[in-house]
Homo-oligomer: A and B are copies of this chain.
Amino acid sequence: MLGKCLENVRKTIPLVHCITNYVTVNDVANVLLACGGSPIMSDEPEDVTDITSICQGLTINIGTLNQRSIESMFLAGKRANELHHPVLLDPVGAGASALRTNTAARLLQELSLCAVRGNISEIKALAQGSSTTKGVDADVADAVTDDTLDRSVAFVKEFSQKTGCIIAVTGAIDLVTDGTDCYVIRNGRPEMGRITGTGCQLSGMMAAFLAANPDSPLQAAAAAVCAMGAAGEIGWRNMQPGDGNSTYRSRIIDAICNLDGDTLEKEARYELR
């Protein structure tokens, strides 16, 4: 099933409108191409409605938000909603500033979002209006571990039910839920935290998976998470002496590029709760 979700991306080549931060935007574009989708970036209010209209999905990432791009997020989101395109929110740094927390909360309220993907601190900030967010990385105190797994799963299911969105929390253990079922995913490598933007890349890629699999959004979101984690593992196996985080970054995108459905099925490590 997860492998099929990837194959559907490669088959339908969904065009994904990305309003995303300028730090990791190039990697987001390349990972979208790697997984079989096609990216287009636009964040000018006068441009975004037209651009979203020719796409099949929208990802909104608030990583380097500004007043202009915030306006564009709402305009594009509303148009995507009219067209029934899946809209994904990546609330980068929610909890770290009032503008980020409030913008993410307003997007969640005013748009009909298909999915929200973030680290646990960002999702908590969004759910509870407060957090111990340390910048754009999750706080250790919030981490999803085997010890906190039961209550973490309960938390994401409840937030998913309340919002009607698929909630994807990524970290050492990833959780993806539609409020009823929860994928508990154990792919990935801790060294992925030494690269900027693996989360942003996943958000871009997840929008493509959602667009290509309109009838099974939970599986599509879980497949994207497993694909990113599996690519982190495959990329790591290809590391040579002297390689570091910059080469690892390329290796992960390369692994997505070479990933097929069968390999994804074989590499995915998850349980359903």
Contacts and interface: CB of A to CB of B under 8 A. Distances in A.
A246 B65 contact: no
Contacts of A133: 54
Interface in A121-166: 133-137
A42 B97 contact: yes
A67 interface: yes
A203 to B, nearest CB: 16
Given A134-B54, A253-B246, A197 B44 contact: no
A266 interface: no
B66 A44 contact: yes
A266 B242 CA distance: 17
A67 B38 contact: no
Contacts of A54: 96, 133-135
A262 interface: no
A195 B39 CA distance: 11
A42 B64 contact: yes
Interface residues of A, number: 63
Contact of A30 (B15, B25, B245): B245
A242 B255 CA distance: 7
Contact of A43 (B26, B34, B64, B93): B64
A158 B55 CA distance: 32
A246 B50 contact: no
Contacts of A42: 64, 93, 97
Interface string A181-223: 0000000000000111100000000000000000000000000
A30 B253 contact: no
Contacts of A23: 25-26, 29, 39, 41
Contact of A40 (B30, B43, B93): B93
A19 to B, nearest CB: 10
Given A26-B196, A242-B251, A247-B250, 18 more contacts: A15-B135, A22-B22, A22-B41, A23-B29, A38-B135, A40-B135, A41-B64, A42-B64, A44-B64, A47-B97, A47-B99, A47-B100, A50-B97, A54-B135, A242-B255, A244-B253, A244-B255, A246-B252
